Amino acid sequence: MSDPLLRVENLVRRFGGILATDNLSLDVIPGELHAIIGPNGAGKTTLISQLTGQLMPNSGSISFGGRDVTRLPSYKRSRLGLARSFQITSLLPNFTAADNVALAAQAHDGHSFRFWGNARKEKHLRDAAHAALTRVGLGQRIDVPVSELSHGEQRELELAVALATKPQLLLLDEPMAGLGVTESARMVALLKELRKEVTIVLVEHDMEAVFALADRITVLVYGRVIASGDPAAIRSNEEVKRAYLGDQHVVVAHG
Amino acid sequence: MKSHINLRNVVVALVAAGLVLLPLYSQLSGNIFILTLFTRIIIFALAAASLNLIMGYGGMMSFGHAAYLGIGGYAVGILAHEGIGSGFIQWPVALAVSALYALVIGALSLRTRGVYFIMITLAFAQMAYYIASGMSRYGGDDGLTIYKRSTFGGLIDLSNRVQFYYLCLACLFGGIYLIWRIINSRFGMVVQGVRSNEQRMQAIGFHANRYRLVCFVISGTICGLAGALLANNTDFVSPAGMYWTRSGELMVMVVFGGMGSLFGPVIGAIFFLVLEEVLSQFTEYWALIMGPLLLLVVLFARGGIMGLLGRFSRV
């Protein structure tokens, strides 16, 4: 087994009396698609936010590419190649799709203390934005303001923004949230393509998608890892069935 | 290409042309008062435009912008008082001190957000106000009379009304051009992105506060220039010019004209100061009319006057 790209050790995060992340350890191996599942309130988004630095853990450590990033602010982690999409769409609503992606490309193209030239006329930034948007299927919607994009398109744009930072590790927080059947299928197809190029951590409620995509699955309950392994192992794990999959048994059995 | 001919742009062009031609009208009609009034308006428009840069584009509600008017003014006044009359020294000093003040205040204030940011910028401006009041060598509470306007080695005579008017107008147009370049630059895109969604900007790799701070300093420096102009216009600086009500007036001008609109602060300054002038001829309680007007703008015309014009343009 190669060295992990991301290593989380004994991570703890409390909110008042609640342990949202309870002594959690986790490895993500380069090239894999690692899914994190768990019932509502299991602490999945809290975990992602700690991985990207929006939230600081109370204790434990996170290392990325062999480097300790536990206390690094999110903008520095982004520069190391860690990108995320948000569960609740988080874009710049008054900018166009292209502006949103071009800014992500700009963030990784030297400093932005340039006050004179028109940023929207910088060809390589626009080209990068164009490429990322085409990649996620928004090639025809480039100049549309975010506020006029459909929910599904905004989810795809989230992905394009993350891609434009040229990440080594993509943390996707429920990319399928709120998508219809066709849109979900498109997203799954897209993720199948992306996983060939970039390591992905996927938090998702859609079990069908998770079992179709994941190399490994980690199951969280109340901030703790109760199981981790390949899809087959997770499917047959008694504790997982008891704690989480009970009502979804049918889906899993057919997945 | 989108057509650039719409009501809003026509109004902007007319106002700009009107400002350029105003001295001509003043000369022909012998109405000197209008020239004096509009010199003042133009200076305040520059100050409001600088506030608009951080408020409208950067999302930073500074409630202490009058401090820069005072600092720029006092830099000119104090140097004049000490016998240094050259504008080539006075004005760079005014800009530098304003920038430095903005850097310190910004570095401290930008740790906070929202109401706290408003309060802390207000508090610092009030501190500046009290420091100015305490400078007994420079007039203290009574302020400091400037006996001689800044000299520029014979290049331009600031005591000449028309020349001074055009200098102010050039500073205003130059300032707006600069702001226009900035908001469309890489830097400006980042600043506007941070206003819109700071968390997202951090997540894609921007150190948001560093960009905010630089924007804050640019804004303060431009306003410091307005301060230097204002001191020359009134031949006087006093702590009263830094009082928080003055900061409030600048905010009102920006809101009237339209936050985040390039030319809005100019329209806002004209609207505010002309209205104040006209109303105060009828009643000393002019604020009783200004207040409800502001209320109407905030309630029904969020984009201010420029926003309204834009709305009619689309019909």
Residue A36's closest CA among A216, A241, A240?
A216
Residue B2 has a pLDDT of 56
* A236 has a pLDDT exceeding 70: yes
User: What residues of chain A lie within 8 A of the CB of B202, using their CB?
Assistant: 53-54, 73-75, 78
Q: Specify whether A187 is located in the same domain as A75.
A: yes
pLDDT tens-digit series, residues A151-200: 999 999 999 999 999 999 999 999 998 899 999 999 999 999 999 999 99
> B313: distance to nearest CA of chain A, Å?
20
Domain boundary among A166, A181, A208: A166
CB pair distance less than 8 Å for A78 and B199: no
Q: Specify whether A173 is located in the same domain as A206.
A: yes
User: What residues of chain B lie within 8 A of the CB of A118, using their CB?
Assistant: 184-185
Q: Specify whether A108 is located in the same domain as A161.
A: yes
Q: Is B118 on the interface with A (CB under 8 A)?
A: no
Angstrom distance (rounded) from CA A34 to CA A234: 13
Domain boundary among A139, A166, A193: A166
pLDDT interval class at A253 (50, 70, 90): very low
Q: Which CATH architecture has domain B7-314?
A: Orthogonal Bundle (1.10)
Residues 12-31 of B with CB under 8 A from A: none
Nearest-Cα residue of chain A relative to residue B196: A92
Domain boundary among A120, A145, A166: A166
Structure tokens given for B139: 């007039």
Nearest-Cα residue of chain A relative to residue B205: A75
CB pair distance less than 8 Å for B196 and A95: yes
Percent of chain A past pLDDT 90, that is, above it, reads 82
| Phi, psi (degrees; rounded to nearest 5) at A16 | 60, -125
Q: Specify whether A72 is located in the same domain as A174.
A: yes
* A224 has a pLDDT exceeding 60: yes
User: What dihedral angle (degrees, nearest 10) is formed by the CA atoms of B174, B178, B180, B185?
Assistant: 160
Residue A31's closest CA among A161, A170, A164?
A170
* A20 has a pLDDT exceeding 50: yes
| A180 CB neighbour count, 10 Å cutoff | 12
- What value of ipTM does the predicted structure carry? 0.89
CB pair distance less than 8 Å for B214 and A113: yes
CB pair distance less than 8 Å for B199 and A161: no
Higher pLDDT among residues A239 and A55, named by residue: A55
Q: Is B148 on the interface with A (CB under 8 A)?
A: no
Structural domains of chain A, count: 2
Are A135 and A160 in contact by the 8 Å Cβ rule? The answer is yes
CB pair distance less than 8 Å for B193 and A104: no
Site from A55, A75, A96, A159 to mutate, B interface, most B CB atoms within 10 angstroms: A75
Angstrom distance (rounded) from CA A53 to CA B168: 47
* A231 has a pLDDT exceeding 50: yes
Positions in chain B short of pLDDT 70:
1-3, 313-315
Residue A150 has a pLDDT of 94
Domain with A203 in it: 1-81+169-255
Angstrom distance (rounded) from CA B126 to CA B236: 19
Q: Specify whether A204 is located in the same domain as A182.
A: yes
Angstrom distance (rounded) from CA B239 to CA A43: 55
Q: How many CB pairs lie under 8 A apart between chains A and B?
A: 99
CB pair distance less than 8 Å for B187 and A112: yes
CB pair distance less than 8 Å for A113 and B187: yes
